[in-house]
């Protein structure tokens, strides 16, 4: 009986992983103007998306100086801020997006370690 449960558990995990691999990500990156910090955040997020979510993501980049009204809907208080709208749960990552591991974890693309 224990072997059967373990086998079923492995099948469920494999099925969930397969479904997750097909999920489409909807992301918004808020930046403040064309600054080195903004450019670094844009470059970093695009690189991660291309490597980890190839053909499975929509990334909208919003300059809060050009579109100040956009910050109200997502309650942006600092930039850069990356918001993962889908798949749920919604996540917010704040900072220059230089910490690749933090972004992967925040996007649920990497399992938590121990």
Structure tokens at 100: 């690749």
Q: Which CATH number fits domain 24-106: 3.40.50.970, 3.30.9.10, 3.90.1640.20, 3.40.30.10?
A: 3.40.30.10
At 60-92, the pLDDT tens digits run 999 999 999 998 888 999 999 999 999 999 999
Query: Whole-model pTM above 0.85?
Result: no
SS3 11: helix
Residue 68 makes CB contacts below 8 A (sequence gap 6+) with none
Q: What pLDDT is attached to residue 73?
A: 86
Is residue 13 predicted with pLDDT exceeding 60? no
Q: Where are the domains of the chain?
A: 24-106
Contact 26, 16 (CB under 8 A): no
Residue 3 to residue 9: CA distance in whole angstroms: 10
Q: What pLDDT is attached to residue 3?
A: 53
Average pLDDT estimate for 35-49: 97
């Amino acid at each position: 009986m224990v072997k059967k449960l373990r086998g079923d558990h492995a099948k469920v995990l494999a099925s969930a992983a397969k479904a997750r691999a097909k999920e489409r990500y909807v992301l918004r990156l808020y930046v403040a103007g064309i600054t080195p910090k903004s450019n670094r955040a844009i470059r970093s997020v695009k690189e991660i998306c291309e490597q980890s979510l190839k053909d499975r993501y929509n990334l909208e980049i919003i300059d809060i100086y050009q579109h100040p009204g956009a910050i109200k809907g997502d309650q942006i208080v600092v930039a850069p801020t990356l918001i993962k709208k889908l798949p749920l749960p919604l996540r917010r990552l704040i900072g220059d997006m230089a910490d690749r591991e933090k972004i992967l974890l925040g996007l649920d693309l990497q399992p938590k370690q121990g």
